[in-house]
Amino acid sequence: MQGFIYPNEFELQWGLLVVLYPYLTGLVAGAFILASLERVFNVKEVEPTYRLSLLTALAFLLVAPLPLLAHLGHPERAYEIFMTPSPTSAMAMFGFVYAWYLMVVLLLEIWFDYRENFVHWSRTSTGWRKWLYRILTLGATDLSEKSLRFDRSAGKWITIIGIPSAFLLHGYVGFIFGSIKANPWWSSVLMPVVFLFSAIVSGIALVLFIYIWAQTVRGRPVDMLCTDKLASFLFYAMIVDFSLEMLDFIHRLYEAEESITILSQLVEGRLFNSLIVLQITIGTVIPLVVLLLVSPALKKGGFLATTGELRRMLYLGTAVLVQIGIFSIRWNVVIGGQLFSKSLRGLTTYKVELFGMEGLAMTLFLLVLPIIILWVLVKVLPPWLDGEKGAPSEAG
């Protein structure tokens, strides 16, 4: 502790779990927006990742509320958010945004895309799988041309609604922080926008990583046109995201409001490693330089000629660095905003527990859980149709 903090501020209110939650919802929004690139904007190159993006979004969306539940003082009362939501509370309204996104956007889109498969698989599978697929068809077994056309059209419209919904999903998380006038580190008009673009960045990077990794594990060829396109989009998104962050930074320094003294101490001291080193240097600048040089974002074939093999490795590494960078952003916003006193006269520290509800172990578990769920989803709802039309591919 340094300087003066209000006596009640000794303990950080929102810890690692609340850092994790915007990270997870960001991945959801980002993965979905990537999927929508193919459907709505007809970016054909990324078609191999379409279903994978949706399943990734679903896996992470299912896990996203868990850190919130775990950190509540009374998780058994969590239903109150849906029963008596306060109309002025961003957090309460977010419950509905989440429900809307899960039910009306993501689940529906997946359903419409897979319905044809469900019907086929319900007829060709045996045992519990047969029943699972039968239930999943919801009884809509019409496979006429007209019906399938409706599926595709519905999917497209849902994606169109889905894009602003995804923006709303993660922009809202930004608003939850950005609307707190009591906290000068959070209170900013740019907060929802920065959150959204960093979500897009993390989502694209995640899908890029999973695609390359999954294809490698399955022994399939990696479609370099696809990954090049993903890398290009990642680059563009990162440029916008970085510009917004720099804008916020410059604006703060220029206006030099009362909070600038304590916030400067915060950034130069407590947040130096997580912000200057992890977020900016490792998480943004290095990936930008790599992508600038090897991806076709600004020049066809990139500025440096590379083999597909090398480029794949670089993309993989870049995607990992980006994830570290985006996680650091969440850390710097959530934890950073609580490391200084609202009296603007002091700083405190955050000690991460190892075990316990808010500990490192729980966080790692919640990071791994979506991967496990994704693995299950990939088994049950295979995104790759390498075998005959409509048949699930081999175990991947």
Map residue 304 onto helix, strand or coil.
coil
Token representation of residue 164: 């602003």
Q: Which of 2, 183, 265, 306 binds other proteins (CB under 8 A)?
A: 183
Output 87 or 221, the one with its CB closest to other proteins: 87
Cβ 11 to other proteins shortest distance, Å: 6
Instruction: Give the amino acid at 99.
Output: A
State in angstroms the smallest separation of the CB of 268 from other proteins.
20
Q: How many CB atoms lie within 10 A of CB 293?
A: 15
Contacting range for other proteins; rule: CB under 8 A; set: 39-47, 59-67, 175-183, 386-394: 175-183
Q: Does 154 bind other proteins (CB under 8 A)?
A: yes
CB of 122 to other proteins, least distance (A): 14
Whether residue 295 contacts residue 231, with contact meaning beta carbons closer than 8 Å, is answered with yes
Looking at the Cβ atoms of 13 and 243, the one nearer to other proteins is 13
Q: Can residue 42 be called a binding residue for other proteins (CB under 8 A)?
A: no
| Region 66-125 residues binding other proteins, contact defined as CB under 8 A | 68, 71-75, 77-92, 95, 103, 108, 112, 115
Q: Does 266 bind other proteins (CB under 8 A)?
A: no
Question: For residues 154 and 285, which CB has a smaller minimum distance to other proteins in the complex?
Answer: 154
The CB-of-13 to other proteins minimum distance in angstroms stands at 4
Q: What are phi and psi of 72, to 5 degrees?
A: -65, 150
In the complex, the smallest distance separating the C-beta of residue 184 from other proteins, rounded to whole angstroms, is 10
Provide long-range contacts, Cβ within 8 A and 24+ apart, for 246-255. Answer: 247/190, 248/188, 248/190, 248/194
3-state secondary structure of 76: helix
Q: Which two tokens stand for residue 371?
A: 């991967």
DSSP state letters, 348-389: ---PPPSSSTTSHHHHHHHHHHHHHHHHHHHHHS-S---SST
176 vs 92: CA distance, rounded Å: 10
Pairing of strands 2-3, 346-347: antiparallel
- Beta-carbon contacts of 303 under 8 Å, excluding residues fewer than 6 positions away, are 292, 293, 294
306 is a site residue for other proteins (CB under 8 A): no
How far is C-alpha 78 from the geometric centre of its chain's CA atoms? Answer: 23
The two three-digit tokens of residue 192, written as one number = 């929802």
Q: Per CB under 8 A, does 219 bind other proteins?
A: no
How many whole angstroms separate alpha carbon 171 and alpha carbon 163?
12
Among 42, 128, 182, 395, binds other proteins (CB under 8 A): 182
Residue 394 sits in the site that holds other proteins (CB under 8 A): no
Q: Should residue 181 be labelled a site residue for other proteins when binding is judged by CB under 8 A?
A: yes
Residue count, binding to other proteins (CB under 8 A): 59
Here's the x/- map for other proteins, 130-149, by CB under 8 A: it reads as --------xxxxx---xx--
Decide: is 11 part of the binding site for other proteins (CB under 8 A): yes
Binding residues (CB under 8 A) for other proteins: these are 4-11, 13-14, 68, 71-75, 77-92, 95, 103, 108, 112, 115, 138-142, 146-147, 150-151, 154, 176, 179-183, 338, 341-345
